[in-house]
Structures are given as structure tokens and as C-alpha cells.
Amino acid sequence: MALMQEEVIRAGDSESQWSPALDNRLVGLWAFLATVAMLFAGFTSAVLVRRTSPDWQPIPLPGILWMNTILLIASSMALERARALAGQERPREARGWVLAAALLGFLFLSGQVGAWQQLRALGIFLPSNPHSSFFYILTGVHGAHLLGGLFGLGYLLVRPRRAAALNLWATYWHFLGGLWLYLFVMLFVV
Amino acid sequence: MLTAPEIDPVHAPTGFIRRYIFSTDHKVIGMQYLLTAMFMALVAGALAMLMRLQLAWPGQKWPLLARIFPDGMAGGVMKPEFYLSLITMHGTLMVFFVISFALLGGFGNFLIPLQIGARDMAYPFLNMLSYWTAVPASLIMLASFFVEGGAASAGWTSYPPLSAVREAVPGSQWGQTLWILGMAIFIASFTMGGLNFVVTILNERTKGMTMMRLPMTIWTLFIASALGLLAFPPLTAAAILLLFDRHFGTSFYLPAGMFFGNKLLPHAGGTPLLWQHLFWFLGHPEVYVLLLPALGVVLDILPAFTRKPIFGHRMTMYSLWTIAVLSMIVWGHHMYVSGMSPYVGEFFAIGTMAITLPSAIIGMNMIASLWGGTLRFRTPMLFAIGAISLFGTGGLGGIFLGNATSDIHLHDTYFVVGHFHYMIGGVTLFGLLAGVYYWFPKMFGRMLNESWGKVHFWVTLVGFYSVFFGMHFIGLGGQPRRYYDFTKFEFLKPFTEMNLFISIAAFVLGAAQLLFLLNFFWSWFRGTKADSNPWQAATLEWSAASPPPHDNWGEKLPVVHRWPYDYSLPEATEDYAPQIAAPAGGRSGSWR
Amino acid sequence: MANNVVRKRPLHRILLAAGMWLIPVVAVIFGAGNWLPPLASEHGAGIDGILRYLLITVGALLVIGHLVLGYFILRFGGQERVGPFRMPSARTERMWSLVPVVILALVAEGGVLVLGLPVWDKFYASAAPADSVVIEVTAEQFAWNVRYSGPDGKFGPTDPKRITLNEPLGLDRSDPATKDDILVLNEIWVPLGLPVQILLRSKDTLHSFFLPNFRVKQDAVPGMNIQFWFVPTKVGTFELACAELCGLGHFEMRGLFHVLPREEFQKWLSEQSPAQ
């Protein structure tokens, strides 16, 4: 009967009638970035609440943070260059820029540790006061996420993938760069 | 840009390990979650039985238990520290490691590809990783019972300072630390799963499966996953800060002037209210993460056993979304008497009452879905109707608590315990059980025994009401939560019989679930064989074999032509049309 | 198909409908009972009013919902189709949705706005009257430290650094304001009909000051001084319980709240020896 007839298509033809506008992995990445954003939203509200306490004592801005910020911005720019080159089908040059971005990212992370050391030299440790606690913890959590990104870039270098993979890691990387700018402003400017 | 899913449809894995242990097949993973949930339910249920034992007969000696729990029940009498670890872990395990595992991990994984016409999830490897992250999280939680000081004892809500100061209660030594680690790993597992669900539902639907042709199970899983992805991270942040307060000398939650164990603690400037805000920011949406999929299951089961679509499909959809959005702005109703600003409290009360509106629409629509139907009283339907009753009773009870003023009297009493057990222990449990009885044939190719199922239903329904209905009233009487015994207060003496009755009912309720477990495992191997569609249901999973092959659909993916609820169509000879049935010429011959 | 044979007039049609109708019966029996602790405060009448209002309105919804559910089960249970099935129009479904929306808006939201907020505001947002008896309560694991300010009307300063086993509040006994402070453990004495203002503190973890008969509940938060007031309207001795998990002794943190006629309260007060 007409009602019970199946229309069938062959295996491998996995066309959905509703063509996904975005690649599977990109949608997943954006969902994941929303999660990370909410994590730092949680931390932000903690900062805002804790700031109202009379014992809030702003710590001095470790000078190296300026350089770290520039390094991270530079690494994002390098990654963008790599993306453009990969899009132009110039994978070997793209790899070079990915390597540059990774190195800059590694320098950023080292610089973050350097910032910790600058504070420790001043006698400001993690539990010293709430501002320092947040500084250590937020830079730590951000740094951990960036380390993950670094592994991703390393993976891209070791096993060259399609342009799509570079796209994903670059998006993640830029997000973390933007997140760092946000943390910097929240902790030291506002 | 279009992408084919990166799964090789034809080559099933070989070898026991790849097929059943480290499998990337969503059906296997779903069953792994379900079985893990059942095991954790046994543990968490046993904890509850011990709790009720203590509350019914406080001060009683139990020599057998003293041998099983030499620390917690030394001399045969339960110690208060043991009791507090029981309530804490009962709540924690049930919420995260039973209901979430079973409904989202179990049904979500098993059903999503089958109901949307895909061969597997978008990220099969990540899926496997999510389960194998869930397992260590569970083990850490279980291990926490055996460390010094015992398991965490600050309630599943883990409020500091009790949870932050190691001297405050024995469970706040290593038990609480393990709790935090277990939760962090659980959240990682949930995140992986949630990402998978969201992307799969958006991107992996088969030809013809538009979003509006998705069954309610998928919609609610989608909404719940999105909600969970957004709501869990602040708890992660809170947990990290708690870890630092506990072990690294920070003062996020800890104010100055706390005097514990004969010494003044060095902390200063923190506030316990910060934890409460961050916790409940997750905590409230979390209950909807659990509740919504249960409602979705019920909403999908009703059509198959009423032979008609549910009433108010569109309004129900809008209501589900409204509830999800509103659920993120009402968390303060857990904190009315916490010391939070009363003006903020007013805001939360008004918002909380707003949630009753879409909830009532859903409740009414579920009841109205029976109108004009041809009701078939098989076990899944019984549990579905039971869920409707529990949703109504429990949800209405919530109104007393959402009103900040009445909550002054009811906060932290057994009224709250009664209410939330109805919602996340009742509706979710009945939705879960309805789903298990319904989809068991799809999973195992056999039917669960119907007679035992009916006995299970009745004992569970009567048992559930017996345990939790009365709690609302002793709550009105002021009986506080988390009390190790009720014998120290005169005003609690009138409730002694009720507490005894509740305990006995709880034992019966627990025993009935053992009957279910017997049915489950016996039927798995010896149940009546089922064909692909024993319920004559229209949703897409019933067009696959029972159980489906590794690639779900064989050589050819299904193509969908209708929404999932084409029952009793006017011109049809069959009383239902599966989603793959082509309409007889254009778009006619379908309700939608 | 053997799996789905349905008997006519199934047993469960009767059983399930009966079950659904039994629930409202049980609900009414319970709801009609007298569960609330005897009322002893002014604002508590407002809270009791809300509770009774909700018991009636929400109870009615529970009853109606289950009666309807049971009726539908009875009417539509069975193999025969009751008349041809017509899918309701979208408009019908929308119209019917208005029913729960309007009812709940009135019952639930109305309850909050009309009944709840006025009582809430009075309890929390209005200043304690000038003739209040002010009592400081400092909760600790597992006792209630009660302090009266004495004739000078001033509470002596406390400092956590001075806390010892003998000095649970960390008082400075040499301070003049402290000299006439009256310290009581686990008992509070108040006069009938005058406002009582509680200054609630905690020495260690969270506790909660719960007077069931007075419909009073307020969490005690370390690091915060929380104030609230209420008016006792009955003479007698009532119990004080802790309502926020605070550790091993949470269940036995019992205090006594004595309401005396005014002259007797004055007499009691004058008989107390101050902290020396």
C-alpha cells in the first residue's frame, strides 16, 4: 500500500534534507566555546561578588603581562596568516606560520609563569589576597585551555590535516586570545 | 558546506573489547550508561534504605550492619557522621550518576541516532570517551566512602563553610575533596556528551527529518543538553574555588572570624553566599536537564498508547523552551532565607511563579492527550500516566515553595524533600521506567514481562505516594531536613508514626525495584521475542530492526515523509503511519 | 501481532481510574488536617494565610486534575474507538492553553504579588520598631549563644581573636558596654506583644534560626550580621531548631524560646546577673 512504501537511498549518501550550514565540528566547537565562556562567566561573577569585600586589595600589574598580551595577539595573527595560506593551497608555508603561532603561544605561557614569578618576588602568593587568588587561578585555568590549544597546534604540525582542522584550532585559539584580553581588563582595568 | 559523517557504515568492529567495552557504537554506549546507572541506583537506593532505617528506629542497634560498616555503625548504632554521608551521597549519586546517566547517557545515546535516522552520533570517539570518563567519576564517588573521615557529608549541595573547612564535619576531610574531583570529571563527561547530542541533532538528521518532524524525546534531549552545557560550567568554577579554599588557603567562601576546633581560622573576606549563587545557578537548570527528557519520553509514549497525537504539540514545544530559558533566572528561590537581599528574593519569587505557567500548559496537555484516544494499558503507558500524576502533584507543591513568604516556613523542611522527590525522583523515574519498558524490545529484541511490569508499576506508584506525599505535611509541621533523628524536639513527636510509615513504605518501594531488575535481566536473555515494532508506533526508531544492526539501517538510510505522530489518520486503513511511509501524493494524508 | 493484543474493557481501565481518583481523596484527607504548629506570632498569621490559601487553591487543582485524568482513563480506556478522531485545530489548542495560564497566573503569581509580598516586605524590609527587645543570637556548633544588651542598651564588642572555650563570644570583659550584658545559653526570653529584634550571627558555619511556632526562619551566616524582627502573640515556651545543615549536632541544636507576660519578663530580666 502506498502508505507503507519506503523510499530508500544508498549507503554513503548521507545527505540530510536539511543541509547543515556549518560543518559538524564547527558547530561542536562553538557549543564548546559557549561552555568555556560560561565557565569564565561563573568566575566573573565570583570576582564581582568578592570585590565588594573590604579586604579587596588590588595587586600590582606584573609588567610582563603586556608583553604576553602582545605575544598572544601576534600568535593569533600568525595563525590567521597560516589560515589564509592554507586556503590558497600553500600548505607548507601555512605550516611554517602554524609553527610560529605555536612558538609564540608557548612563549605566552612561559610569560604567564613569569608573571607568577614576578608576583612571588613581591611576596604575593595565591592565598595572599582575593585579587591575587583570582589572578593565579584565572591565568592558570586560561593557561590550561591554551595548553590544550598548543597540543592541537602541535598535532596539526605533526599530522597535516585538511584546512578545516586548521580552521577549528584557529577559532579556538582566537577565542582564547579574546578571553585573555577580557581577563586582563577584568582583573586590572575595570 | 556539507559533510558526511565520518563513520564507516559497513565495517562493524570485531573482538569482545572493541564491541562491548571500548565501543564507539552509540547503542552499546547507551547500554553501558544504562547499566552503570542501574548499578549506581542500587548503591544510592541502599543508602536511602539505611537512612530510612535510622529515621524509623533511631538509636536502634543493628549488629549485622555493624559488621558491614564497622566505622559508621560501630556498636550497631548509626553514627551521625555516617548518616550525613548517606544523605549527601544519596543525593549526589541519584541526581548525577543515576538519573542523568540513565536518561541522557542511556536513552540519549541509544535513541538519538535511531530517532533521527543517523548511523551513529556526530562524534563516536568522543562519545566513547564520555562514557569512559563517567566511569572514573563514579569510581571516585564510590571510593570516597572508604577514605578517612568517610564520604562527603555537607549535603549534595555542599555549602561552605561546612564543606570547606576540614574540621567542620568528618566528611569534609578527604571525602569532600573526592566529591569535588568526581563532580569535575562528571561535568567533563557530561560536556562531551552534551556537545555530541547538540551537534548530532542539528547536523545528522536523515533526509526529510526536519526539526519539526523530530519526536519530543529528541527535542527535550536537545534542550536539556543545551541547558546543561550552559549551566554546568559555573559549578565547575565554583568547585575549583572550593578546592582552593579547602587546600590552598584562599578565602572565596570563607569569612573572617570562623572558630573551628578551638582555633580561629585565618581566612577573611569571603562569603558563603557566593557558593550558593554559583551552585544554584547550575542546580536549578539541572533539575530541568533531568526533568525535560523524562517529559519528552512520556510525550512520545502517550501517542503510541492512545493512538493519536498528543494534544497541543506546538504549545508544548513553546512551553518546553520557555521553561528552559526561565529556569536560568530563578535559582535564587533556593536562597530566600539565606541572607540574600530580600529585594532580590522578590524578583526570584516573581520569576519562579512565571515558570508555573508553561509547566501547567504541559501538564494540561498531557492529560488532554488522553481525550479522544483509544487507550491501551500496557506497562509503558501505566508508567507514563503515573508520571503525569506525579508531575501534577509535585509541580503544584512547588508553588508553596516558590512563594518566598510561605517558603520562610517551609524552607529546609520535609516539604522540600517531598517536592523534589516527586519531580526528580518521581517524574524522572517513571519517565525512565516507561522508557525502559517501551524501548526494551528495540534494545534487546525481546519484551519485558508484562505481568511483572504491571505489578512493578502498582507497587511503585502506591509506594511512591506513600513515601513522599506525607512529607509535604510533616513539612508543614516544620520537620527539618537532614536531621539524624527527630527525638530531641517536642514539636516533632506527633510525626513519629508518619516517619515510621514512610520508612516502611520506602522499603517496599525499594523491594519493588528489585523485581524490576529481575525482570530486566531475565527478559534480556529469556523474554518473548519482539519484532521491530511491537507497539505499532510511528517514530523512526521502530523502522529499524530489534535490535538494530551496527550501522542501524543496513545499506540504505531511511527517508522521512511525516511527523512522528500520524496515528488514526482519517483516510488510512492502518491506524498509524510510520515516519518513513510516503504520503499518498504530496502532503495530504498526514496530520502535519 | 501477538505482542499487542488488547482485551476489551481491560481491568486496568478500572484500576487506573480508581487509582487516580483515590489520590485526590488522600490529598483532601491530608490537606484538611491540622499540621501547622500552633501560631504564636503576628506576621505568622500572614504566612498561615498564604499556606491555607495555597492548600485550598492548589489542592483544588490537584483534585480536579486527577478527577479529570481518571475520567479520561475510564472513558477512553479500551479497544473501541469512541467516535471518529478529529485533530483539534491549532487555534483550539492555543485557546485551551489559556486555561492553565490564567489559572496559574492568578493562583501562583497572584498569590505572590497579592498575599506574599506584603508579608515579606513587613518581615524583611521594614525597620524594627523603637520599642523592640533586641537580642543578639550567635549560633555555633551546636548551641545558641544569646545575649541581651542590659540597661545601657549597648552590646559590648566581640572579637573572634578573643574567643576561647570560656569566652565563646570573644567578649572584652573590661569594656564598659560589656559589663551589663546578659548571657544565656540556648534560651531566649521575651515579653508578650512587644517586637523582638534578633541580631543573628554565626561563629563557625551556616546555621538557621528556626522558630516553627512563630513562622520565623533565617540563616545565620558567618561574616554577616543579619537582623529581623517579629511580634510574639502567645505566652508559653516554644522550641528553637536549626534549619541549615551545620555538622554532626545539627539535629540536636535545640533552644527554648520563652514568651512571658511583660511584668514577668521585666522581673526575669532584672534577676539576671550580667557577664562579669
Q: Residue B29: inside a domain, yes or no?
A: no
The residue of chain C with its CA nearest to that of B566 is: C87
The residue of chain B with its CA nearest to that of A127 is: B250
Instruction: Answer yes or no: do B525 and B577 share one domain.
Output: no
pLDDT > 60? residue C197: yes
B402 vs C contacts (CB less than 8 Å): 108, 112
Q: What pLDDT sits at residue C81?
A: 65
pLDDT digits (tens, 9 = 90+) for A85-128: 988 888 888 899 999 999 999 999 999 999 999 999 999 999 99
Instruction: Answer yes or no: do B218 and B319 share one domain.
Output: no
Is the bond preceding residue B547 a cis peptide, omega within 30 degrees?
yes
3-state helix/strand/coil string of B414-426: HHHHHHHHHHHHH
B430 vs C contacts (CB less than 8 Å): none
The answer to whether residue B566 neighbours chain A at the CB level (below 8 Å) is no
Q: Nearest CA of chain B to the CA of C173: how many Å?
A: 19
Backbone angles phi, psi at B297, to 5 degrees: -60, -45
Q: Residue B304: inside a domain, yes or no?
A: yes
The answer to whether residue B455 neighbours chain C at the CB level (below 8 Å) is no
The answer to whether residue B535 neighbours chain C at the CB level (below 8 Å) is yes
The answer to whether residue B262 neighbours chain C at the CB level (below 8 Å) is yes
| B21: Cβ contacts below 8 Å, ≥ 6 apart | none
Of the candidates B60, B78, B80, which has an alpha carbon nearest to the alpha carbon of residue B69? B78
B259 vs C contacts (CB less than 8 Å): 140, 160, 163, 203-204
Range of the domain at B551: 545-592
| B273: Cβ contacts below 8 Å, ≥ 6 apart | A49, B335, B338, B339, B340, C221
Half-sphere exposure of B162 (CA within 13 A, CB side): 29
The answer to whether residue C68 neighbours chain B at the CB level (below 8 Å) is yes
Instruction: Answer yes or no: do B289 and B228 share one domain.
Output: no
The answer to whether residue C120 neighbours chain B at the CB level (below 8 Å) is yes
Of the candidates C15, C67, C59, C61, which has an alpha carbon nearest to the alpha carbon of residue C33? C59
Residue entry with cell 521585666: C266
Mutate to test the interface with B, among A16, A17, A29 (most CBs of B within 10 A): A16
Type of residue at A61? L
Contact A24 B191 (CB under 8 A): no
Residue entry with cell 570485531: B14
Instruction: Answer yes or no: do B382 and B331 share one domain.
Output: yes
DSSP-derived letter for residue B264 is E
Place A22 in a pLDDT band, splitting at 50, 70 and 90: low
Q: What pLDDT sits at residue A9?
A: 27
Contact B209 A45 (CB under 8 A): no
Contact B80 C248 (CB under 8 A): yes
Q: Residue A76: inside a domain, yes or no?
A: yes
The answer to whether residue B312 neighbours chain C at the CB level (below 8 Å) is yes
Q: Residue A18: inside a domain, yes or no?
A: no
| Average pLDDT of every residue of chain A | 86
Place A24 in a pLDDT band, splitting at 50, 70 and 90: confident
Positions in chain B short of pLDDT 50? 1-7, 9
Q: Residue B539: inside a domain, yes or no?
A: no
First to last CA, chain B: 29
In the listed set B484, B503, B529, which residue is the last one of a domain according to the structure?
Answer: B529
pLDDT digits (tens, 9 = 90+) for A124-151: 999 998 999 999 999 999 999 999 999 9
Q: What pLDDT sits at residue B19?
A: 82
What's the CATH code of the domain at B461?
Answer: 1.20.210.10
Mutate to test the interface with B, among A26, A38, A49, A56 (most CBs of B within 10 A): A38
In the listed set B243, B270, B297, which residue is the last one of a domain according to the structure?
Answer: B270
Q: What pLDDT sits at residue A116?
A: 96
Which among A24, A42, A127 has the least Cβ separation from residue B237? Answer: A42
Q: Residue A110: inside a domain, yes or no?
A: yes
Cβ contacts from B onto C, under 8 A: 329
Which among B205, B580, B583 has the least Cβ separation from residue A6? Answer: B580
Q: Nearest CA of chain B to the CA of C271: how many Å?
A: 28
Contact C23 B393 (CB under 8 A): yes
Q: How many Cβ atoms sit within 10 Å of the Cβ of residue B260?
A: 18
pLDDT digits (tens, 9 = 90+) for C94-125: 899 999 999 999 999 888 889 999 999 988 88
Q: Nearest CA of chain B to the CA of A147: how many Å?
A: 17
Edge to edge, what strands does the sheet with C196-202 contain?
C182-185, C143-148, C133-140, C196-202, C226-230
Neighbouring subunits of B (3+ Cβ pairs under 8 A): A, C
Give CA–CA dist A67/A73, Å, rounded. 10
Q: Are A53 and B271 in contact (CB under 8 A)?
A: yes
Which among C36, C90, C93 has the least Cβ separation from residue B476? Answer: C36
Q: Nearest CA of chain B to the CA of C143: how many Å?
A: 14
Number of structural domains in chain B: 3
C33 vs B contacts (CB less than 8 Å): 473
Number of structural domains in chain A: 1
CB interface of C with B, residues 16-35, below 8 Å? 16, 19-20, 23, 26-27, 30, 33, 35
Q: What pLDDT sits at residue A14?
A: 43
Contact A31 B194 (CB under 8 A): yes
Q: Are C246 and C176 in contact (CB under 8 A)?
A: no
DSSP letters, chain C, are -GGG---SS-HHHHHHHHHHHHHHHHHHHHHTS--SPPP-BSHHHHHHHHHHHHHHHHHHHHHHHHHHHHHHHHHHBSSS--S---PPPHHHHHHHHHHHHHHHIIIIIHIIIIIIHHHHIIIIISPPPTTPEEEEEEEETTEEEEEE-TTTT-PPPB-GGG--SS-TT-B-TTSHHHHT-EEEESEEEEETTS-EEEEEEESSS-EEEEEGGGTEEEEE-TT--EEEEE-B-S-EEEEEEE-S--STTGGG--EEEEEE-HHHHHHHHHHPPPP-
Give CA–CA dist B233/A159, Å, rounded. 32
Question: Which cell is A144 given?
Answer: 590550561
Place C4 in a pLDDT band, splitting at 50, 70 and 90: very low
Q: What pLDDT sits at residue B589?
A: 60
Q: How many Cβ atoms sit within 10 Å of the Cβ of residue A45?
A: 17
C216 vs B contacts (CB less than 8 Å): 408
Instruction: Answer yes or no: do B246 and B343 share one domain.
Output: no
Q: What pLDDT sits at residue C276?
A: 59
Q: Residue B540: inside a domain, yes or no?
A: no
ipTM score here?
Answer: 0.94
Strand partners, B258: none
Q: Residue B240: inside a domain, yes or no?
A: yes
Of the candidates C43, C100, C17, C8, which has an alpha carbon nearest to the alpha carbon of residue C214? C43
Encode C153-176: b = buried (16+ Cβ within 10 Å), e = exposed.
eebbebebeebeeeebbbbeeeee
pLDDT digits (tens, 9 = 90+) for C27-67: 999 999 999 999 999 999 999 999 999 999 999 999 999 99
C120 vs B contacts (CB less than 8 Å): 342, 345-346, 349, 404-405, 408
Q: What pLDDT sits at residue B171?
A: 93
CB interface of B with C, residues 358-397, below 8 Å? 360-361, 363-365, 367-368, 370-378, 382, 385, 388-389, 392-393, 396-397
B165 vs C contacts (CB less than 8 Å): 204-205
Q: In this structure, are strands C182-185 and C207-211 parallel, antiparallel, or unpaired?
A: unpaired
Percent of chain A exceeding pLDDT 90 equals 68
Long-range pairs of A120-125 with CB within 8 A, sequence gap ≥ 24:
A122/A60, A124/A59
Instruction: Answer yes or no: do B574 and B495 share one domain.
Output: no
Contact B81 C226 (CB under 8 A): no
Contact B574 A23 (CB under 8 A): no
Q: What pLDDT sits at residue A161?
A: 66
Give CA–CA dist B259/B262, Å, rounded. 6
Neighbouring subunits of C (3+ Cβ pairs under 8 A): B
Question: Which cell is C174 given?
Answer: 573590661
Range of the domain at A156: 24-51+64-189
Give CA–CA dist C90/C213, Å, rounded. 51
Contact B205 A18 (CB under 8 A): yes
Q: Are B168 and C205 in contact (CB under 8 A)?
A: yes
Q: Residue A71: inside a domain, yes or no?
A: yes
Instruction: Answer yes or no: do B49 and B198 share one domain.
Output: yes
Contact B278 A22 (CB under 8 A): no
The answer to whether residue B272 neighbours chain C at the CB level (below 8 Å) is yes
**pTM of the model as a whole:** 0.93
Instruction: Answer yes or no: do B500 and B553 share one domain.
Output: no
Q: Are C149 and C134 in contact (CB under 8 A)?
A: yes
Instruction: Answer yes or no: do B84 and B207 share one domain.
Output: yes
Which among C107, C124, C208 has the least Cβ separation from residue B412? Answer: C208
Question: Which cell is B567 given?
Answer: 496515528
Contact A6 B559 (CB under 8 A): yes
What's the CATH code of the domain at A150?
Answer: 1.20.120.80
The answer to whether residue B59 neighbours chain C at the CB level (below 8 Å) is no
pLDDT digits (tens, 9 = 90+) for C202-217: 999 999 999 999 999 9
Asked whether the CA dihedral B38, B39, B44, B49 is positive or negative, the reply is positive
Q: Residue B537: inside a domain, yes or no?
A: no
Q: How many Cβ atoms sit within 10 Å of the Cβ of residue C114?
A: 12
The answer to whether residue B224 neighbours chain A at the CB level (below 8 Å) is no
Instruction: Answer yes or no: do B166 and B312 share one domain.
Output: no
In the listed set B239, B270, B301, which residue is the last one of a domain according to the structure?
Answer: B270
Instruction: Answer yes or no: do B568 and B514 share one domain.
Output: no
B578 vs A contacts (CB less than 8 Å): 4
Backbone angles phi, psi at C164, to 5 degrees: -140, 180
Q: Where are the beta strands (DSSP E) in B324-441?
A: none
Give CA–CA dist A17/B394, Å, rounded. 41
DSSP letters, B225-260, are HHHHHHHHHHHHHHHHHHHHHHHS---SS--TT-EE
| B39: Cβ contacts below 8 Å, ≥ 6 apart | none
The residue of chain B with its CA nearest to that of A55 is: B269
CB interface of B with A, residues 107-136, below 8 Å? 119, 122-123
Q: Are B589 and A3 in contact (CB under 8 A)?
A: yes
Q: What pLDDT sits at residue B514?
A: 95
Q: Residue A19: inside a domain, yes or no?
A: no
Give CA–CA dist C247/B84, Å, rounded. 8
Instruction: Answer yes or no: do B311 and B342 share one domain.
Output: yes
Q: In this structure, are strands C133-140 and C196-202 parallel, antiparallel, or unpaired?
A: parallel
